[in-house]
Amino acid sequence: MNLYMIEACPFVHRVLLACEVRKISKELIRRTTIDLNRPPAEMLKINPSGSVPTLIFSDGQGFHESLVIMEFLDSLTAAGPKLYGNTAKECAQTKVLWESANSILLSAVQQAIYSFGNVNSVRSANEKLKAGWEWLNTQLNKPEAPYIGGNELNAVDVGLAPFLLRLRYAAELHPSIPMPSAGSRAGEYLVRMTERCLSGGIFPDEEIMRATTQKFALPHSLFKAVQDAPRTLIDHPHEAVKSEAEQLSAWTVEEDGHGFCLKALFKFSSHSDAVNKLKWLHDAQEICDHHTSFSLRDFDSIEITLVTHEPRWGVTRKDLTMAKLLQTYFVKGQLPS
């Protein structure tokens, strides 16, 4: 068997940690590091999404999804304890516990990590995290048992670990993220888990983990460009738009009684797609600290006006930079990586 992976992926780390717990050798499951931008053809054949981890067998068959792979590892004969338990009843109980871990703790941890500089999102994650740490304290209520699984990690510990470790790095950039207090059971669990994952050489170097995590905690460079763009009025907005015709092709300069403004109409594939884009626009405005005037048209289109009111009405550098950001996301469906 061959595990297709990249070095710094938390979902891959679940599988590597699971192999360590189960004592599954690198000979039984070999590791192939891939380029996520160019996944190998044999991997795309069984996992067209191109995501890692993906497990491939010698006959070319295989599957992806970290939790599915973890469950499969329990079917192998190996010296280490099983992740889900030894009986059908234990497996069912572990899966029910995982559902709570995922919805109460992990979703909040992921929201805090993958904030992309969205302070609203961090704020709401922080509230959920407090409840998450309480849940974790309750799970760790057996004094002799260092892990949720008891003396050894189970599927719930393994599913959480890569993300719990990364939360620290996000908290370095967003100090409002609440971490469990040092003396609490959850706090001690975090220290224990971090030592285990980092010392065993299971996860990459801290510096790699920090850098790859913090990339998701900061605004994308196109958001940053809007934040940094000056609010200076442009005297000839028609020419400014023409000079960046490709990136601003969706926008027209219009003039009303007050002065110039930028307008665009973006059409989406469905009503729900348009509503999702409105949610994205709402967050984008908060991250950029720059606001637009927008309305939903014909259920599937968004009409946007970009203009600066103060100190004088008109189009500024910040408006133009915001226009480029919106066009990139609304036309391409994603921001460049």
Q: Can you give the binding site for ligand GSH, defined by CB under 6 A?
A: 9, 11, 36, 49-53, 64-67
The least CB distance from residue 167 to ligand GSH, in Å, is 16
Return the amino acid letter for 150. G
CB closer to ligand GSH, 159 vs 237:
159
The count of other CB atoms within 10 Å of the CB of residue 171 is 18
CB closer to ligand GSH, 5 vs 234:
5
The least CB distance from residue 113 to ligand GSH, in Å, is 12
The least CB distance from residue 12 to ligand GSH, in Å, is 7
Q: How many helices (H) and strands (E) does the chain have?
A: 13, 8
CB closer to ligand GSH, 214 vs 301:
214
CB closer to ligand GSH, 52 vs 73:
52
CB closer to ligand GSH, 212 vs 328:
212
Distances (CA, A) of 337 to 204, 215, 216, 220: 22, 10, 11, 9
Return the amino acid letter for 238. H
The least CB distance from residue 54 to ligand GSH, in Å, is 8
The token pair at 120 is: 């609203």
**Distance (Å, whole) CA 130 – CA 136:** 10
What angle do the packed helices 66-73 and 10-22 form, to 10 degrees?
A: 10
Return the amino acid letter for 294. F
The least CB distance from residue 30 to ligand GSH, in Å, is 18
**Distance (Å, whole) CA 252 – CA 242:** 10
The least CB distance from residue 2 to ligand GSH, in Å, is 16
The token pair at 39 is: 């996944």
**Quick check: helix, strand or coil at residue 216?**
helix
CB closer to ligand GSH, 6 vs 140:
6
CB closer to ligand GSH, 9 vs 164:
9
The token pair at 229 is: 């763009």
The least CB distance from residue 81 to ligand GSH, in Å, is 22
**Distance (Å, whole) CA 211 – CA 281:** 27
3-class DSSP string for 123-150: HHHHHHHHHHHHHHHHHCCCCCCCECCE
